[in-house]
Amino acid sequence: MSILSEMNVGESGVLVGLDLPESVQNHLMHMGFVPDAHVSVLRRAPAGDPTVYGVDGMEIALRRETAAAIRMRPPEAEAESEQAQNPKISPATKIPEFLEVAR
């Protein structure tokens, strides 16, 4: 797990949680910062603050103190955790199940 403010430009991750006051959380969630959202670090101001992040097709600038309260995980961890939760499900087994439901 990592913190959004510690990620470098060009990196991306999956949002795990917001450790912010409820009013700030609500504001960010309306802009797309919701659990499991894919967030990319797009660019940083010359002085290093704020940083522009891409989420849900939008570009949003956040100050370092706000980004420091956003927990992230690597994008590949998302696929691994999904596979761990459903180890027997593979694309090959999903197709027959889908066809059976369609009948």
Tokens standing for 50? 């704020």
Average of pLDDT values for 19-26? 93
Return the CA Rg of the chain. 17
- Which residue blocks in the chain are alpha helix, DSSP H? 22-30, 64-67, 75-85, 91-102
What's the pLDDT band for 41 if we cut at 50, 70, 90?
very high
Tokens standing for 44? 């940083």
What residue ranges define each of the domains in the chain, with the CATH number in brackets?
Answer: 2-75 (2.30.30.90)
What's the pLDDT band for 59 if we cut at 50, 70, 90?
very high
Tokens standing for 35? 């659990």
What's the pLDDT score for residue 86?
A: 56
What's the pLDDT score for residue 83?
A: 53
Chain centroid to CA 62: how far? Answer: 15
- 93 against 23, higher pLDDT: 23
Average of pLDDT values for 32-38? 94
- Tell me: the pLDDT tens digits for 72-94? 999 975 455 555 555 555 455 44
Beta bridge partners of 17: 71
Tokens standing for 22? 């409820």
- Number of neighbours of residue 16 by Cβ within 10 angstroms: 17
- Measure the CA–CA gap between 54 and 61, rounded to whole angstroms: 9
Residue 37 has pLDDT above 60, yes or no: yes
What's the pLDDT score for residue 101?
A: 46
